[in-house]
Amino acid sequence: MNHFDWDHSFYVDFDLAAGFSEKAEPTRRYLSQMKDMYYDSAAAEKILKTEDPLIYEFYELGFPEREGDLAFGTTILYPGKVGNEYFMTKGHFHTKLATAEVYYTLSGEGCMVMENPEGDTLEMPLVKGQALYVPRRYAHRSVNTGKDPLVMFFTFQADAGHDYGTIETKGYHKMVVEKGGETAVVPNPKW
């Protein structure tokens, strides 16, 4: 239950390393909710036979989708793989396509995978102590390529909206995988 006063200011704690809040309630995404997003569906099914791992959690604070407001919070993306593909967030376009997002990495390491409707792709590192700019018109998904949780503080326009459907059909053009002990960005064979 997130009740914050967006009209008269409020503050909310986010641990500067682990990202967790004592005051706010997180939303959690488990493998079962996004198994079809991983390329190796057999590997996903095999994991789900014995457990349903938490892939990531984030705070969205119940922000009002109003012009001029900002949504913010942290995302905690856990380390792990499905087959050789690293744990990742669902990712989305903004419904108001030409709206940006800022990510400030508090701990861990990973990669932001982006693409616009024309199919131009961008991959940028997520590094502790670096802020990353997701430009307008780019769908964005974060990927944890490390051994520890990847923790990011994010901000976006509260009226941006989230479009998960477009990118769910075939997935992103690029995948981030472990290949011979190294992290590699490879084309998604579904495209």
Which positions touch its own copies (CB under 8 A)? Answer: 4-16, 67-70, 72, 96, 98-102, 104, 106, 112, 114, 122, 124-125, 127-136, 138, 153, 155-158
Cβ nearer to Mn ion, comparing 85 with 101:
101
* Residue 111 beta carbon to its own copies: minimum distance, rounded to whole angstroms: 11
Instruction: Give the total residue count for the chain.
Output: 191
d(Cα 23, Cα 35) in Å, to the nearest integer? 30
Cβ nearer to Mn ion, comparing 44 with 176:
176
In contact, 181 and 94? CB cutoff 8 Å: no
Give the bridge partners for 54, in sequence order: 30
d(Cα 57, Cα 151) in Å, to the nearest integer? 10
SS3 state of residue 154: strand
In contact, 103 and 152? CB cutoff 8 Å: yes
Q: Binding to Mn ion by residue 159, rule CB under 5 A?
A: no
* Residue 94 beta carbon to Mn ion: minimum distance, rounded to whole angstroms: 6
In the numeric block, the tokens 């001029």 are attached to 68
Q: Binding to Mn ion by residue 57, rule CB under 5 A?
A: no
* Residue 7 beta carbon to its own copies: minimum distance, rounded to whole angstroms: 5
* Residue 92 beta carbon to Mn ion: minimum distance, rounded to whole angstroms: 6
Query: What token pair was written down for 143?
Result: 């990927």
Q: Binding to Mn ion by residue 115, rule CB under 5 A?
A: no
- Selected from 71, 75, 88, 101, the binder of Mn ion by CB under 5 A is 101
Residues making contact with Mn ion (CB under 5 A) = 101
